[in-house]
Structure 1
Amino acid sequence: MSVFADLVARLADLLQPLFDASATAVAIVLFTALVRLLVHPLSRAAARGQRARVALQPKIAELRKKHAKNPEKLQKAVLELHAAEKVSPLSGCLPSLCQLPAFFLLYHLFSNTTIGGEANALLSHKLFAAPLGDRWFDALGEGGVFGAQGLVYVALFVIVAGVAAFNFRRTKLMMAAGSAGVPAVGDEQVPGLAASMGAVGKVMPFMSFFTLVTVAVVPLAAALYVVTSTTWSAVERAFLYPVTPAPAAK
């Protein structure tokens, strides 16, 4: 972790003449953007994989009819179809999995009081009045919701709520249109999946709002990573998964 801490510290030093005390916070935002830029090819591949999986639905529907009385053969046939078409059912998970190490590194870096046996100097850095190692509850104890520290979190909550509302609207539109970005609940690929997809479909539009809880409970440095990454994801998905309008009713 000391190597990672040195990387953040060096980037902050480069930015210090421009951003003064908030240089480390800006360094975290830029670091997050760099991580997302590196992961972007995987996101594009996941989008292509999603479109390929949707394109397989007619063939999967035929397999369901053919093996309606034999779930084991159906599952094997579906997996063989994916393999033959070189489509991975798990490709959409890779971008998120690749980002987890960076998030946990930031979380631990700003949760530890020492690094390599020495005091963690990064904990003294701030975003305006809010220390990067503190949490929202710490800010509430230092002036309340609208205190100097609390206002930093208010700004982050407003950004997250705006992004969540944007994602909520897009998800509802995509689910209504059966767009490639959100598979239709009835498009069962593996036996037994329809029921779970139905439950997920009801919760999915609200998932982005759970980010508000994450921002409130993790150190501010990790919250900056979450806010930046969530905003990047919203913009990225808007380009990679365009909403296809539902056909007009006749």
Structure 2
Amino acid sequence: MLAFAPLHTAASVAATVVTWLADTLTPLAGGTATAVAIVLFTIGVRLLISPLTLAQVRGERRRAALAPEVRDLQRRYADDPGRLQSELFALYRRAGANPVAGCLPALLQAPFFLVMYRLFATGDGHPALLNEKLAGVPLGWHLGDGLSGPVLALFGVLLAALLALAWWSSGRARRAAAATGTVAGTPTEGPGAAVLGRLVPLLPYTTVLVALVVPLAAVLYLVTTTAWTALEQLVLRRPQPASIDVR
């Protein structure tokens, strides 16, 4: 368990912050203070890691802009894998769009999401957090614990929100791939591209599946972080106007 000590410590610190927020909000939010604190804490963390997201988007745009040249190189050196790799490396280096470096921001975000999921799914560092209630339903309540009226109503609204967000994100991924010829900044031609093109639009729906098995606190986190991601896609990944060459 020693390997998980840093994760436990981070979850404990996060729990302390959420508890402080809940105590501060209690005069205004009453019994919903802890739920509101979870939402605000999630937004705060997403703001904290927004520079990483911006770096990831910039990397995707650079790689997407190079997609036509990548496809041309793939056609020209289809029978010479060694030369193809050399030419691709040179192309990315000239454009400052290292494909490996583009994955780094996403990897750096993973620990933040892991800590938050562990806190809201297990109450790690502060089990009492999941004993608080929202609309009469404990934050530690799972759908499998019983389907009373309040549980169905609350989970139904949250699951419907997740489903709507997943549908929007999936549709946007399909439209972006069709418009740019890339999936997440990767050309849609070549080995495995067809499979990737089918899988990427389905990924947003995994949050709905996860929400079916985690407690209410984690569902609140999922709705908040998914809505934030949709907002980032709308703002940061909006189509860029074509540059006009004025001579």
Residue matched to 1:132:
139
Q: Does the CA-based 8 Å contact 1:52-1:87 persist in structure 2?
A: yes
CA distance in 1, matches of 2:121, 2:151: 18
- AA aligned to 2:53 is S
CA distance in 2, matches of 1:209, 1:242: 22
Q: Does the CA-based 8 Å contact 2:120-2:221 persist in structure 1?
A: no
Residue matched to 1:70:
80
Residue matched to 2:5:
none
| Residue 102 (structure 1) shift | 3.4
Residue matched to 1:29:
39
Q: Does the CA-based 8 Å contact 1:25-1:127 persist in structure 2?
A: yes
Equivalent residue in structure 2 for 1:9, among 12, 15, 19: 19
CA distance in 2, matches of 1:241, 1:180: 13
Residue matched to 2:238:
242
- TM superposition score normalised by structure 2: 0.81
Residue matched to 1:163:
165
- Deviations 1:32-88 (CA, angstroms, capped at 9, x unpaired): 111111222222222221111122234334433453322123123323432343213
Matched, 1:153 2:150: no
Unaligned runs of 5+ in 2: 1-8, 242-247
Q: Which moved more, 1:203-212 or 1:83-92?
A: 83-92
Q: Which one has a larger percent helix, Structure 1 or Structure 2?
A: 2
SS class of match (1:68): coil
Equivalent residue in structure 2 for 1:220, among 216, 219, 237: 216
Residue matched to 1:53:
63
CA distance in 2, matches of 1:225, 1:95: 21
Q: Which moved more, 1:172-181 or 1:36-45?
A: 172-181
- TM superposition score normalised by structure 1: 0.80
Matched, 1:232 2:228: yes
- AA aligned to 2:173 is T
| Residue 236 (structure 1) shift | 0.9
CA distance in 2, matches of 1:27, 1:47: 29
Q: Which moved more, 1:66-75 or 1:9-18?
A: 66-75
CA distance in 1, matches of 2:68, 2:123: 56
Q: Does the CA-based 8 Å contact 2:121-2:217 persist in structure 1?
A: no
| Residue 200 (structure 1) shift | 1.6
Residue matched to 2:3:
none
Per the alignment, do residues 154 and 93 of structure 1 end up closer, same or farther by CA in structure 2, a change over 3 Å counting? farther
Q: Does the CA-based 8 Å contact 1:185-1:198 persist in structure 2?
A: no
Unaligned runs of 5+ in 1: 188-193, 246-250
- Deviations 1:162-216 (CA, angstroms, capped at 9, x unpaired): 11121122222222222677447545xxxxxx23221121122222122111111
Per the alignment, do residues 13 and 94 of structure 1 end up closer, same or farther by CA in structure 2, a change over 3 Å counting? farther
CA distance in 1, matches of 2:206, 2:163: 10
- Count how many residue pairs are aligned between Structure 1 and Structure 2: 231
| Residue 31 (structure 1) shift | 0.9
Q: Does the CA-based 8 Å contact 2:67-2:187 persist in structure 1?
A: no
Per the alignment, do residues 168 and 66 of structure 1 end up closer, same or farther by CA in structure 2, a change over 3 Å counting? closer
Residue matched to 2:244:
none
| Residue 125 (structure 1) shift | 0.7
- AA aligned to 1:78 is L
Per the alignment, do residues 183 and 112 of structure 1 end up closer, same or farther by CA in structure 2, a change over 3 Å counting? closer
| Residue 103 (structure 1) shift | 3.4
- AA aligned to 1:134 is W
CA distance in 1, matches of 2:68, 2:140: 52
Q: CA RMSD in A?
A: 2.7
Matched, 1:203 2:210: no
Q: Does the CA-based 8 Å contact 2:53-2:105 persist in structure 1?
A: yes
Report % sequence identity: 38
